[in-house]
Amino acid sequence: MRIALSKSRTLMSCASSLTLMAAMFASQQAAAHGYMNSPPSRAYACQQGLNIDCGPAQYEPQTVGEAPKGFPEFGPADGKIASGGHTSFAPLDAQSANRWHQTEIKDHNIDFSWFYTAAHKTTRWQYFITKGGWNPNLPITRDSFELTPFCQVENGGGIPIDGSAGGNGQGKEKHSCSIPTDRSGYHLILGAWTVDDTPAAFYDIVDVNITAQGPDPDGWKNVGGISQTQTLQPGDSVKARAFTGSSESTEYSFSVDIDSAEEGQPANWSYKLASAVNAANKPLVRAGVRNESGDIEPIKGANTLYSKAESGVTRYEMQTVMVPDPDAYMHVHNIAPEYVLEKGRAAVGFTVMTNKNITVEATVFDAANKQVGTTKQVVNSTSAPLSVPVIANPGEHFLKLIATSEDGRDNFQELKSLTFTGEGGAQEFDFVFPEGIAGYKAGTLVLQPKNDKVYECKPLPNAGYCVQYNRNANGFEPGVGASWNMAWTEK
């Protein structure tokens, strides 16, 4: 049932109440996780590449915004509403008029949908919107919002997906709501998913640009975006590739070269490319952001690409060409030809030399290409020792190194042969936890290095718990989490 609310109410929170609720919440972390995926939450837009400089939020949008339920009396503190008060997600709290990708909202009637990675019983969903005349350059606080939700959907403790509690998947129902008709331009929508059987709610900030002039105002259709994905250097180029079905359209594709370091800043090259689209005298395509008058104008930030049906353009894809650094190098030294296993364990040590800031991923494979150990380390323009802990059996193995420079323009690869002798491991397993966690499913065998035991992921519906892992608090970690036996069976 959807309940639309319009009356304002008085904010009754205080610092002592928030502190008390936070303390209670910290001792009873929720097992449920999820995020708004349509329109995309700020964190989910990070994962999609629409936002940049997001920090760890881009890897786990389902965890962002977890805080005590009961907004506005409780919930995240002012200034930390986007992050939910979690330090690791603090980059999401940065707020300015052009910092984040804005999803265009073309109709005041809107459907909200959520994706759940651990769907637990749900009390309700509430949706709040910023006030008319709010200042988008100030930190996000309760004073930014109308504190009465413009839409509220009750669920009475039901499970929000087609499946059992703890499962993962798309929400089984969309929430049909109506945005206040006096809102236009840039606004924030705060979605609050209140879990029924824990003290938690998940608060998702959504950045929107409300045009609300019909399905396709003036015949313009959103066909892509110029997302600020990286800093470019002089000599690089960036191209918006237009597609009509499966074929690229040279007529409606546009490219710009980067001529200076300043021009290579993400907001600046996005503006330059959007301006090039609009200056090309192609009346059937435009780039920019709609203003309150409905005009599409470039901004120094994330720009949207539009087309009219007569152009045939159905989508745009971004292509960046970066000039490699001819002086960049990575050398690998001190790899021993043989390593001795003790009860199936060894450490493969070596040295990396580089003149770039690189991320090195080192993986050891056996002769059947099964991964038996991996590590990832940042090496900043220096010579650094690395070590890969392995759990393996005697025989021929390979050390594969893949390194990428911080700016993404340089890549290095090395493959070294080595041999293990000595005593092999006693049990078979697919992964050393938490390696490869995104692919865990029913029947997956993992070795828990904390106790040297092997665990098997349980059949569905419990298998959904196997992929739930937060390094700071994980109740389903095999063998050691408080609720590990809901997900795993010891072998």
Partners of 445 in the beta sheet? Answer: 456
Domain match, 235 and 343 both: no
Distances (CA, A) of 445 to 209, 367, 374, 427, 458: 46, 20, 17, 10, 10
Q: What are phi and psi of 431, to 5 degrees?
A: -145, 155
Domain match, 316 and 334 both: no
| Confidence (pLDDT) at 2 | 41
Domain count of the fold of the chain: 4
CB atoms within 10 A of CB 259: 12
| Closest-CA residue to 240 (of 230, 225, 228, 229) | 225
For residue 279, give the H/E element and its range. helix 266-279
User: How many helices and strands in the chain, by DSSP H and E?
Assistant: 3, 30
| Confidence (pLDDT) at 101 | 93
Domain match, 192 and 244 both: no
289: containing domain: 217-321
Domain match, 64 and 161 both: yes
d(CA 133, CA 465): 44
Q: Of 210, 233, 255, at which residue does a domain stop? A: 210
Domain match, 39 and 103 both: yes
282: domain CATH number?
A: 3.30.70.2150
Domain match, 283 and 221 both: yes
Would you say how long the chain is, in residues? 491
Domain match, 72 and 176 both: yes
**pLDDT tens over the chain, length 491 residues:** 343 443 333 344 444 444 444 444 443 444 568 999 999 999 999 999 889 889 999 998 998 999 999 999 999 999 999 999 999 899 999 999 889 999 999 888 899 999 999 888 999 999 999 998 899 999 999 999 999 999 999 999 999 998 888 888 999 999 999 998 888 889 999 999 999 888 889 999 999 999 875 455 678 888 888 876 688 889 999 999 999 977 899 999 999 999 999 999 998 999 999 999 999 989 999 999 887 677 899 998 888 899 999 999 999 988 988 888 888 999 999 999 899 998 888 999 999 999 989 999 999 999 988 888 889 999 999 999 999 999 888 999 999 999 988 877 888 999 999 999 998 766 778 888 888 888 899 999 988 888 878 899 999 888 888 987 765 557 899 999 888 999 999 98
In which order are the strands placed within the sheet that holds 445-448? 431-432, 445-448, 453-457, 488-490
352: domain CATH number?
A: 2.60.40.2550
| Confidence (pLDDT) at 444 | 93
| Confidence (pLDDT) at 80 | 95
Domain match, 389 and 248 both: no
Distances (CA, A) of 360 to 122, 187, 330: 42, 40, 10
Is-contact 46 35, C-beta < 8 A?
no
44: domain CATH number?
A: 2.70.50.50
Is-contact 148 6, C-beta < 8 A?
yes
Domain match, 19 and 115 both: yes
Tell how strand 383-391 and strand 345-354 pair up: antiparallel
Domain match, 16 and 45 both: yes
d(CA 388, CA 348): 5
Secondary structure (3-state) at 462:
helix
Q: Of 189, 210, 231, at which residue does a domain stop? A: 210
Positive or negative: CA dihedral 473, 477, 480, 482: positive
pTM score of the predicted model: 0.50
Q: Of 210, 233, 251, at which residue does a domain stop? A: 210
Q: What are phi and psi of 87, to 5 degrees?
A: -55, -40
Domain match, 221 and 159 both: no
Domain match, 168 and 28 both: yes
Q: Give the angle subtended at the CA of 142 by the CAs of 138 and 143, to the nearest 5°.
A: 65
